[in-house]
């Protein structure tokens, strides 16, 4: 629902914020761009990209395209979250969690994200080509 927009705009008032959504209704209501992360293009890459619980709603082909597209869209820091098959089995409250997702192993996501990013942990991924050195203890195992 774009809940991070307000604190991000407050913290970075000169930054450009782009919201992406597949629902025409939500785009009209919140002023977001209608589109999908697997095929969205922008003239400039973004310094920060937040992709929260989006890719599990895409089938395997579109999901893989979305992760590759994040590599094109993000030139800095990516925050990525997705419910995995392991989360479904071991952690989440199934009574309160949407069952209409494609549940994939965490390794499926990591394998694709590591093509463009270094995993920092707690959902943060740093673009490999951004030039910021990441010490071994800062990287996720």
| pLDDT tens for each residue of 114-133 | 999 999 999 999 999 999 99
Question: How far is residue 91's CA from residue 1's CA, in Å, rounded to a whole number?
Answer: 23
What residues form DSSP beta bridges with 127? 117
Q: What is the dihedral of CA 72, 110, 85, 93, to 10 degrees?
A: -80
- Strands of the sheet with 74-81, listed across from one edge: 46-52, 74-81, 124-127, 117-121
pLDDT in tens, the chain (141 residues): 678 888 998 999 999 889 999 999 999 998 899 999 999 999 999 999 999 999 999 999 999 999 999 999 999 999 999 999 999 999 999 999 998 999 999 999 999 999 999 999 999 999 999 999 999 999 998
User: For residue 1, what pLDDT is reported?
Assistant: 66
Note whether 21 and 51 are within 8 A (CB): no
Q: CB neighbours of 21 closer than 8 A, spacing ≥ 6?
A: 27, 30, 32, 33, 34, 35
Biggest distance spanned by C-alpha atoms of the chain: 45
Element at 85 (helix H, strand E): helix 85-90
**pTM for the whole structure:** 0.93
């Amino acid at each position: 629902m774009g809940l991070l927009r307000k604190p991000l705009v407050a913290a970075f008032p000169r930054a450009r914020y782009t919201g992406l959504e597949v629902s025409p209704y939500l785009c009209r209501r919140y002023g977001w761009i209608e589109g999908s992360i697997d095929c969205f293009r922008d003239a400039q890459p973004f310094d920060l990209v937040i992709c929260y619980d989006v890719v599990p709603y895409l089938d395997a082909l579109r999901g893989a395209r979305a992760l590759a597209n994040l590599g094109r869209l993000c030139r800095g820091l990516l925050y990525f979250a997705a419910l995995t098959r392991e989360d479904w089995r071991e952690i989440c409250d199934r009574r309160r969690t949407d069952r209409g997702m494609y549940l994939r192993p965490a390794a499926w996501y990591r394998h694709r994200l590591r093509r463009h990013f270094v995993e920092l942990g707690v959902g943060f991924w740093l673009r490999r080509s951004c030039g910021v050195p990441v010490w071994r203890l800062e990287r996720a195992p």
